[in-house]
């Protein structure tokens, strides 16, 4: 059971929903805009960890725990066979040497446990005619237990290599010894905490944690003395990190490899194969590794080298290695180790969701017909319907629908501009009217018919021209009068950055002190409301552009600019022209 292996650093989270999009089982809950990992749903696969740009998703660090164990007694390291690709600079016996320098008393290869698992799995396949699913990958096992419970009976009843090796080490070194597994997989931390496996493994370190430890220890490679692994040798089981490594280690018959054996990696391919098994596939053994490319591409591998180079390093290491222990030796070891286990379902509780409830959620975000469902995936879910179901199960929120939120923002922007007590007019590079609000229309007794016509038909445009040509940056708080309209006003003129548009804001000062007080009150309320909208919506602008391939709407740009202008304009009619040149 995953008890919180993956967590979110709230300070780093940017609410981009990327973790929701890439999580294979949608185990990310959005609450009040904040992404949180749901431990009950999470497979601890680490997909969200490596796919989070600001590094807000983190795997629980157990380095301090291991260091405490080392200071308290005998500690053994069980190292996943992919270490040769993760730490290529410590070849030729330097890897066991550096671990002993860190304080481990004995350094052993988990490949020994993998050899045991391969042999035991071959027995299971030979004994029972049904399709079997290899149990070596903890993410695959957890996926079946939680999301495909009808396939639990197909999981080979064999423990994982980590557990098999830990039990072997306990027989060899005694119960007082502490065992630390080191590998590329974050899910091993969750596996080690399963109640039925309690006490087999005392702690789990990822390759990334180990790499950080080695770097901080300032160990000099030129002072290390080459050392051997402290266990019986394993040979073919060193291929376990690769697709088909289990079958190779088990020396299964060629006809099984050709006809009845399937080895796949990657979440999508694994899901497809599980569906095939449900539909009656007759394969005798499905060996699945959840990370694409296998364990050499584990979420916590962390060396930055390409997967093909890692694969070659594993293959070369296996060829260089000494032959494994004799079959008789392994059989003797396995006689004293419990290799079999059972799996029970831990199915995610799905609430009963009616079609009416789904339609109600869709309607709340403006999706009244199937044609309204964009299915853009910006929210992180593959369809609007899937997002609605997530909302009903408490995993998502209505405002995750970015296109809908954009429309809401645009409508509110229009409302803010239209309801502003100040007259607002926008002109283009030729000083023709692009848009204006109701307050401006009231001041100059004009209609929508002036759109596209020169502003000069209403007023002197000299100040607008000076700003447009760059003669001045802006004109702030200039007192102006328009005798023909019986207007005295305080005017601000600005050019919108990166746009061929100039904005004029006119506050009518003819209404007396009472009117000004009311104007100021409305202005403050307008600004407050605008800031609230902006705070919630503008943070999504970049994400919208990236997901939908669209730029932020012109209305929203104007909203931001106009709000800034309204802030700078004190509206108190102090008079005087302040020109910044």
What does the pLDDT look like over 61-91, one tens digit per residue? 999 999 999 989 999 999 999 999 999 999 8
350 versus 435: the higher-pLDDT residue is 435
* Of the candidates 537, 285, 518, the residue with the CA atom closest to the CA atom of residue 413: 537
Residue with tokens 């069980």: 78
> Cβ contacts of residue 54 below 8 Å, gap of 6+?
12, 13, 14
Q: Which of 145-149, 407-411, 447-451 has the lowest mean pLDDT?
A: 407-411
Is the distance from CB of 543 to CB of 402 less than 8 angstroms?
yes
> Cβ contacts of residue 33 below 8 Å, gap of 6+?
15, 397, 399
> pLDDT per residue over 39-68, tens digit each?
999 999 999 999 999 999 999 999 999 999
The reported pLDDT for the residue numbered 358 is: 96
Q: How far is CA 426 from CA 296, 416, 449, 505, 581, in A?
A: 59, 15, 14, 9, 21
Helix axes 267-278, 138-147, angle to 10 degrees: 50
| Residues forming a β-bridge with 31 | 34
The reported pLDDT for the residue numbered 463 is: 95
Structural domain boundaries of the chain? Answer: 61-335, 350-399, 406-580
The reported pLDDT for the residue numbered 416 is: 76
> pLDDT per residue over 536-563, tens digit each?
555 555 555 444 444 444 545 555 565 5
Sequence length of the chain is: 581
> pLDDT per residue over 233-243, tens digit each?
887 899 999 99
Regarding the domain delimited by 406-580, which CATH topology (the fold level of the hierarchy) does it fall under? Beta-Lactamase (3.30.450)
**Segment 281-297 mean pLDDT:** 94
**Segment 146-158 mean pLDDT:** 97
Residue 496: band (very low, low, confident or very high) from pLDDT cuts 50, 70, 90: confident
Is the distance from CB of 521 to CB of 513 less than 8 angstroms?
no
Q: Give CA–CA dist 398/361, Å, rounded.
A: 8
Helix, strand, or coil (residue 261): strand
* Of the candidates 185, 254, 256, the residue with the CA atom closest to the CA atom of residue 2: 185
| Residues forming a β-bridge with 426 | 435, 503
Is the pLDDT at 516 greater than 70, yes or no? no
**Segment 565-579 mean pLDDT:** 48
Is the distance from CB of 526 to CB of 518 less than 8 angstroms?
no
Helix axes 512-537, 402-418, angle to 10 degrees: 170
CB-facing half-sphere around the CA of 423: CA atoms within 13 A: 17
266 versus 351: the higher-pLDDT residue is 266
**Segment 341-352 mean pLDDT:** 88
Is the distance from CB of 219 to CB of 98 less than 8 angstroms?
yes
The reported pLDDT for the residue numbered 563 is: 58
pTM above 0.85, yes or no: no
The reported pLDDT for the residue numbered 534 is: 55
Q: Give CA–CA dist 129/118, Å, rounded.
A: 18
Q: Which of 32-41, 243-252, 284-293, 468-477 has the lowest mean pLDDT?
A: 243-252
The reported pLDDT for the residue numbered 571 is: 45
* High-pLDDT (> 90) share of the chain, %: 67
Q: Which of 118-122, 170-174, 214-218, 248-252 has the lowest mean pLDDT?
A: 248-252
The reported pLDDT for the residue numbered 324 is: 65
Is the pLDDT at 258 greater than 70, yes or no? no
Is the pLDDT at 97 greater than 50, yes or no? yes
**Segment 103-125 mean pLDDT:** 95
477 versus 24: the higher-pLDDT residue is 24
């Amino acid at each position: 059971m995953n008890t919180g292996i993956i967590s979110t650093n709230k300070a780093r989270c940017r609410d981009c929903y990327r973790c929701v999009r890439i999580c294979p089982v949608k185990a990310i809950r959005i609450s009040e805009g904040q992404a949180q990992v749901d431990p009950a749903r999470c497979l601890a696969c680490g997909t969200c960890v490596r796919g989070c740009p600001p590094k807000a998703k983190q795997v629980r660090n157990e380095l301090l725990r291991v260091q405490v164990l080392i200071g308290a007694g005998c500690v053994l390291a069980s190292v996943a066979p992919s270490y040769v690709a993760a730490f290529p600079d410590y070849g030729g016996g330097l890897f066991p040497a550096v671990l002993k320098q860190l304080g481990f008393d004995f350094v052993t290869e988990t490949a020994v446990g993998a050899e045991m698992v391969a042999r035991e799995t071959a027995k299971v396949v030979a004994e029972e005619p049904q399709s079997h699913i290899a149990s070596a990958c903890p993410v695959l096992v957890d996926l079946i237990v939680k999301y495909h419970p009808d396939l639990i009976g197909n999981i080979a009843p064999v423990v994982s290599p980590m557990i098999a090796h830990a039990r072997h080490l306990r027989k060899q070194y005694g119960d007082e010894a502490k065992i630390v597994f080191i590998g590329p997989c974050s899910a091993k931390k969750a596996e080690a905490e399963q109640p039925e496996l309690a006490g087999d493994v005392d702690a789990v370190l990822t390759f990334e944690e180990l790499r950080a430890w080695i770097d901080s220890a300032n160990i000099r490679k030129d002072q290390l003395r080459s050392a051997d692994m402290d266990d019986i040798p394993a040979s073919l089981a060193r291929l376990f990190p690769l697709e088909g490594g289990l079958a190779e280690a088990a020396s299964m018959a060629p006809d099984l490899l050709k006809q009845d054996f399937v080895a796949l990696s990657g979440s999508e391919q694994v899901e497809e194969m599980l569906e095939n098994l449900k539909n009656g596939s007759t394969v005798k053994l499905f060996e699945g590794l959840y990370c694409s490319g296998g364990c050499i591409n584990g979420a916590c591998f962390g060396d930055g080298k390409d997967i093909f180079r890692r694969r070659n390093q594993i293959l070369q290491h296996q060829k260089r290695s000494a032959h494994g222990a004799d079959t008789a030796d392994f059989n003797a070891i396995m006689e004293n180790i419990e290799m079999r286990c059972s799996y029970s379902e831990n199915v995610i509780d799905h609430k009963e969701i009616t079609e009416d409830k789904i339609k109600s959620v869709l309607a709340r975000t403006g999706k009244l017909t199937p044609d309204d469902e964009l299915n853009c995936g910006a929210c992180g879910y593959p369809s609007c319907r899937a997002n609605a179901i997530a909302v009903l199960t408490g995993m998502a929120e209505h405002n995750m629908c970015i296109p809908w939120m954009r429309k809401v923002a645009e409508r509110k922007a229009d409302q803010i501009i239209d309801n502003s007590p100040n007259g607002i007019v926008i002109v283009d590079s030729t000083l023709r009217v692009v848009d204006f609000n109701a307050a401006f229309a009231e001041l100059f007794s004009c209609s929508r018919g002036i759109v596209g016509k020169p502003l000069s038909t209403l007023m002197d445009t000299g100040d607008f021209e000076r700003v447009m040509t760059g003669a001045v940056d802006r004109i702030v708080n200039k007192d102006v009068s328009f005798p023909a309209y019986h207007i005295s006003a305080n005017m601000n003129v600005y050019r919108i950055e990166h746009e061929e548009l100039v904005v004029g804001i006119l506050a009518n000062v003819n209404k007396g002190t009472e009117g000004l007080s009311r104007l100021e009150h409305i202005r403050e309320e307008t600004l407050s409301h605008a800031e609230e909208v902006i705070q919630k919506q503008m943070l999504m602008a970049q994400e919208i552009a990236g997901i939908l391939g669209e730029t932020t709407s012109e209305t929203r740009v104007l909203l931001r600019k106009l709000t800034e202008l309204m802030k700078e304009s004190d509206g108190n009619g102090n008079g005087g022209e302040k020109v910044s040149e």
